[in-house]
Amino acid sequence: MMRILHRYLWRETTLSILMIMFGLLAMFSFFDLIQELENLGHGNYTISNMLIFVLLSIPGHVYEVTPVGVLIGMMVSLGIFGRSSELVIMRVSGLSIPQIGYTLVKIGLLFTLITFLVGELIAPISEKIAQRMRIQATDAVVAQDFKSGLWVKDNKSFINVDTVLPDATLLDVNIYKFDENFKLKTISSAKKADYINGQWQLSDMIQTKLNERDDTNRIETIFFSKANWQSSIRPELLNILLVSPEKMSAWNLYAFIEHLSKNKQKTTRYEVALWAKLIYPIACIVMVILALPFGFLQQRASGTSTKIFIGILLGVVYQIMNRVFSHLGVLNDWPPLMSAITPTLLFLMAGLALGLMIEKR
């Protein structure tokens, strides 16, 4: 009997969650389509490119909407159970609220796993491909942090890149190398840099050496048609220019944080993004705990539309809180874990408090 009830709960709530997620994905894809109309006609950007971009953006939206979909789907399905008195029958049959909650939390765990896998394995790759396709079609460049180009620190060297192409090719590269006393030793200027067999190959490079001998400064200039450049900067680290930190995989974020730490650069933004990446999938379980009490509150008075409205409202509040705490954490140098986990903890406490209140009734 209990097994039949558990299977019934699994089937109905999972279908409800999937239907809500499908509706949210359709809405976000429509918004993407409207937004991409601005790029239509730029360069070689056609309708087919636009549709491909929208399709490649879907995995990223799956990652973003899954916790909200779990919350709304759970509230809708539990609301239907409540109106038809099925929850009362389940409790009379021997299922307590914690037992019902345990079954639903396992469903949340399933969607937690889906969210994590999509966010780690699919969304970063699809997002990168989508951005590269759009950049190539519109004849744009990847990024320029300043008017003088992109600046990167690599150990005792500072690298200035005028243009980063979608395939991670670097154009107009200037490498300023310093010694232990921060005295400029060499300036290397290359027209192009390609990443080949684990190292950068510079083309048409002019290297200027500043030598100090007998208290006289000597300048030596050498030209190389091809030259190898050993650097800790890899194309994977340049993915930060194509994909925002929030949409990168946890592994790439960790690698980029390590690179910044070795070069004694600020890592707060990326540490917050890394912790958020690890914590966000757990929100699916939290949303199940938060949705459970709504199945027992005003069972006959609240319709499906009310449940959907409350679910959307709570989902929007959660997303806003996530962004606000992330930005505040970066601005105020809060501990990254605290910035990332606070909204989820607040929603978890709200869900547990409502659950205890229902259990005491």
pLDDT tens by residue, 171-205: 899 999 988 888 888 999 999 999 988 889 999 99
Burial of 214 (0-12, 13-18, 19+ CB in 10 A): exposed
Q: Are 352 and 292 in contact (CB under 8 A)?
A: no
- Residue among 300, 291, 295 at smallest CA distance from 347: 291
Residue 155 falls in which region: left (phi positive, over 0), alpha (psi -120 to 50) or beta? left
Range among 57-71, 130-144, 155-169, 170-184 rated most confident: 57-71
Q: Which amino acid is at 42?
A: H
For the chain, what is the mean pLDDT?
86
**pLDDT class of 216 with cuts at 50, 70, 90:** low
At 55-98, the pLDDT tens digits run 999 999 999 999 999 999 998 888 888 777 787 788 777 777 78
**Tokens 């979608």 identify what position?**
166
**Could you give the 3-state DSSP secondary structure of residue 329?**
helix
From CA 59, how far away is CA 262, in angstroms rounded?
Answer: 33
